Structure 1
């Protein structure tokens, strides 16, 4: 292998990886908020979840992107672990679209010459556009880069010969070693799609045999799960569970494929021959589809049992909306990240509002606000990348969420100085009205999927305004009582402080609830 061939191969691989990245990010950004709604509707059933995983991976050309997306949904509390496992299983089948695309358009139709104009248009839109136009530019640029990269891979691979028999030997053991090479390729390239494309190019150039390519394809499939694991190291409980499920599923299917590699490769070779395949690239693409589809068929009846097994491994840990804020969510897209941050903010807000409601009805309350949790949400939001995000739909929610966090922080300042309950003092009617309104909001907001009635928010607003009027009247009356010595200065000051506290706290609770409603996107 000459130095020129090495440089060409490296350049082609780099272009392919860059193309996959831009295509994936552009499609995720273009889907935006609709992705969250579609996913929640489609993953309700096991079969639809598998189908969604396959289709989404086909669209994004990245099983890692699909896995991280669904892991993000699990972490945000939008889907359950069994649903996520079904999506991940479907994603493994969706990855077979890349070998088919490379085999057909890279070796049969050869659209590399047309890829350059597509790349140029995409880069232009990505540079000057914004929102959806910028996302479309990323998609076109990614598509152009993928096939430009394949062209360079083919050029660099010409004349290269891999003496795999000398390295791995012959027989069954060599097949397992080649599978290990496939795992290593995916780990190094951080993309099973790129590893698979490289294997197809090598097969087309005669650098390896068909069965050797099949073994490497199996290893690359297992390697995609290892890539996900590397990305999610140190993640939350939900992230670790979903990542382990992906690893276990891919490993079991990979082992089964290696055990039955002879009949599976024979079936794939037969399919390729039926399609007029000469060099085996279509047959290798068929093998990728056949063994992964067979793995899903074997696993399908046991998905729920498998999910329970994964849960039992980790046991029960402290799992909250705040603890689930994970970098994997941010990688899954802006809409999902905002949803997760919204749920975490709502979780904290429920505790603060509950403490306020109790004090308004005259109960003695001691509440320690989770200040660090609010800071965690703020730090999480600062990690969001807005480059290819459709700000037309995301920005209003993001702005209102920041308003909610500001009111929550102010509310925490209030609840840290809750006035003690004074005996013999009769609060004005606004206290009771506020407690009732906040109680209704708490009741209807405990389920993040629920949508509180509009009357709930109007009741909090009305109670806040009522208490403000009563506070002004009480203040005037108390200052008059002080002047005319009808009450002691200390008693009047305590009443004044309590009224001021209740007035400000109820106002921030109202604005917090309104901001959360606007940020929910419902």
Structure 2
């Protein structure tokens, strides 16, 4: 029983270590990684290189793929560019297996990891900024190595019970069953790296033959697509196309590689017997993914066209529709214009509120193209309204609408700066007001409320009051070595972004109030 608990505990610790290390590497790369993905993917081939490098850097193909899906939804990447990144991510993810093999099996650094875990954890807890992230990376790596030692000990004790003979063999049905097992394990763990580590441990202990391990790894390649599919649920058409592309790429690679492995099982087993089986497994994992890229890359444009036909992207109905016939009645036109402004504000507030959450959801930000069309529609409509002479209330409503349009346009521009959300959530001082702002915006997005508008104004005043003190604290922390200079800049920029976004939101809500007060029949609920 103890060996089973060691194996299960080792897997859990490995998953925790991967999460800690990947999160730290992703935060460290942060804005630079997003900029690289957005800028250096001008061709599918450059996308492959960028995707492979980014995945090897942050040690997570799922993170790269999910980020790519989001970029496609936001319009930052075209489908052919995104396909290149996805192809490359499947090559980059093999780097984790090589890292685990070298550090955990060849060098056996688990004893050193035990020694380093305490100082790394203290650095994580007591440090700030880049120092804390470095401590998190080292702590995560230490957890990985200790977890591997636990898994190896548990697997070694299991060899009397778990033997290759108890598992499906090298027949066609047996290898398909093993591939299905690899797929299921990867979906369950939500980490192809952890599944690969488990396969390496079982191969090293003799619980698996090389051919069995290869079949399991081929199934893992398909299982790793599940995270991106989940991320695309409820997203735009391009997001679903990108997630489907990742699935089809891995299915196509499997369809080509599996028959080759099955037919060449004897040759592979003989080669593994003469050489290190673990190295052969890792080389085949890398080779299979490179084979997939070689097959799909030349036909990237045709593949993108096929995806567009398979998952059509229906045109989203317009957010607002303003009938020019209402311009004959200025009061009716003002009511219609305010209803349209409410709909735009509701969409922007809801999207920003969802992103400023403890569990941020960026899908709303990725689907704001309708707001651009709605803003232009409203601008053209307002330009054609002719106000009656001497109607001061109508002039006040019209002025409030013009101010709303200006602040909505500026707030929409702010939503395109995506790099500040992570910095806000990482900042101890800004996190709480940012979350409060998000909650307030979500409520205003659901329904306009003077009370919520007043609360938003108080949040703006609170953050403005703390602004200079927080900036001074960041600069002093950088001088004392607590923060890296880049962290100071990113947190200062994030605070400025939050204040400017809050300013526009507060002014929109205030001019909504003014317009409603002057309209004969103000709408009760913001359309959205």
Does residue 317 of the first structure (1) align with residue 297 of the second (2)?
no
Give the counterpart of 2:69 among 68, 71, 78.
Answer: 71
Distance 1:212-1:125 versus aligned 2 partners, 3 A rule: same
Give the counterpart of 1:137 among 126, 135, 138.
Answer: 135
Alignment partner, residue 305 of structure 1: 302
SS of the residue aligned with 1:168?
coil
Give the counterpart of 1:120 among 110, 118, 136.
Answer: 118
Distance 1:228-1:270 versus aligned 2 partners, 3 A rule: farther
Distance 1:281-1:240 versus aligned 2 partners, 3 A rule: same
Give 1:388 shift. Answer: 4.1
Deviations 1:445-492 (A, max 9, x none): xxxxxxxxxxxxxxxxxxxxxxxxxxxxxxxxxxxxxxxxxxxxxxxx
Residue pairs, 1:223-262, within 5 angstroms: 223-262=223-262
Distance 1:167-1:33 versus aligned 2 partners, 3 A rule: closer
C-alpha separation between the residues in 2 aligned to 1:186 and 1:326? 33
Q: Is the 8 A contact 2:98 2:282 kept in 1?
A: yes
Q: Is the 8 A contact 1:352 1:411 kept in 2?
A: no
Alignment partner, residue 8 of structure 1: 6
Distance 1:263-1:159 versus aligned 2 partners, 3 A rule: same
Deviations 1:144-166 (A, max 9, x none): 11111111111111132334544
Distance 1:192-1:297 versus aligned 2 partners, 3 A rule: same
Distance 1:283-1:47 versus aligned 2 partners, 3 A rule: same
C-alpha separation between the residues in 1 aligned to 2:352 and 2:209? 43
Alignment partner, residue 213 of structure 1: 213
C-alpha separation between the residues in 2 aligned to 1:405 and 1:268? 63
Does residue 398 of the first structure (1) align with residue 498 of the second (2)?
yes
Q: Is the 8 A contact 2:211 2:269 kept in 1?
A: no
Alignment partner, residue 49 of structure 2: 51
SS of the residue aligned with 1:315?
coil
Alignment partner, residue 177 of structure 2: 177
Distance 1:295-1:32 versus aligned 2 partners, 3 A rule: same
Give 1:215 shift. Answer: 0.5
Q: Is the 8 A contact 1:257 1:264 kept in 2?
A: no
SS of the residue aligned with 1:260?
helix
Alignment partner, residue 450 of structure 1: none
Alignment partner, residue 34 of structure 1: 32
Give the counterpart of 1:111 among 109, 116, 121.
Answer: 109
Alignment partner, residue 200 of structure 2: 200
Q: Is the 8 A contact 1:9 1:157 kept in 2?
A: yes
Residue pairs, 1:82-121, within 5 angstroms: 82-121=80-119
TM-score, normalised on structure 2?
0.67
Give 1:133 shift. Answer: 3.0
Give 1:326 shift. Answer: 11
TM-score, normalised on structure 1?
0.68
Q: Is the 8 A contact 2:236 2:367 kept in 1?
A: no
Which range is displaced more, 300-309 or 351-360? Answer: 351-360
Alignment partner, residue 508 of structure 1: none
Give 1:352 shift. Answer: 4.5
Could you list the runs of 5+ residues in structure 1 that have no partner in the other structure?
421-522
SS of the residue aligned with 2:157?
coil
Deviations 1:364-409 (A, max 9, x none): 7999999x9999x8xx999979554753443332332233333344
SS of the residue aligned with 2:207?
coil
Q: What is the aligned-residue RMSD (CA, Å)? A: 4.2
Distance 1:329-1:77 versus aligned 2 partners, 3 A rule: farther
Distance 1:316-1:350 versus aligned 2 partners, 3 A rule: closer
Give 1:185 shift. Answer: 0.8
Give 1:25 shift. Answer: 1.1
Alignment partner, residue 285 of structure 2: 288
Distance 1:398-1:34 versus aligned 2 partners, 3 A rule: farther
Distance 1:52-1:411 versus aligned 2 partners, 3 A rule: farther
Q: Is the 8 A contact 2:170 2:212 kept in 1?
A: no
C-alpha separation between the residues in 1 aligned to 2:41 and 2:266? 34
Distance 1:363-1:216 versus aligned 2 partners, 3 A rule: farther
Distance 1:264-1:143 versus aligned 2 partners, 3 A rule: farther
Alignment partner, residue 342 of structure 2: none
C-alpha separation between the residues in 1 aligned to 2:85 and 2:353? 20
Deviations 1:138-190 (A, max 9, x none): 22221111111111111111132334544435412111110000001101111
Q: Is the 8 A contact 1:67 1:91 kept in 2?
A: yes
Distance 1:108-1:416 versus aligned 2 partners, 3 A rule: same
Give 1:413 shift. Answer: 4.8
Give 1:223 shift. Answer: 0.4
Give 1:99 shift. Answer: 1.4
C-alpha separation between the residues in 1 aligned to 2:362 and 2:230? 20
Give 1:229 shift. Answer: 1.8
SS of the residue aligned with 2:295?
helix
Give 1:59 shift. Answer: 1.4
C-alpha separation between the residues in 1 aligned to 2:503 and 2:352? 22
Give 1:318 shift. Answer: 4.0
Distance 1:143-1:268 versus aligned 2 partners, 3 A rule: farther
Which range is displaced more, 400-409 or 309-318? Answer: 400-409
Alignment partner, residue 16 of structure 2: 18
SS of the residue aligned with 2:35?
helix
SS of the residue aligned with 1:187?
helix
Q: How many pairs align? A: 408
C-alpha separation between the residues in 1 aligned to 2:101 and 2:292? 23
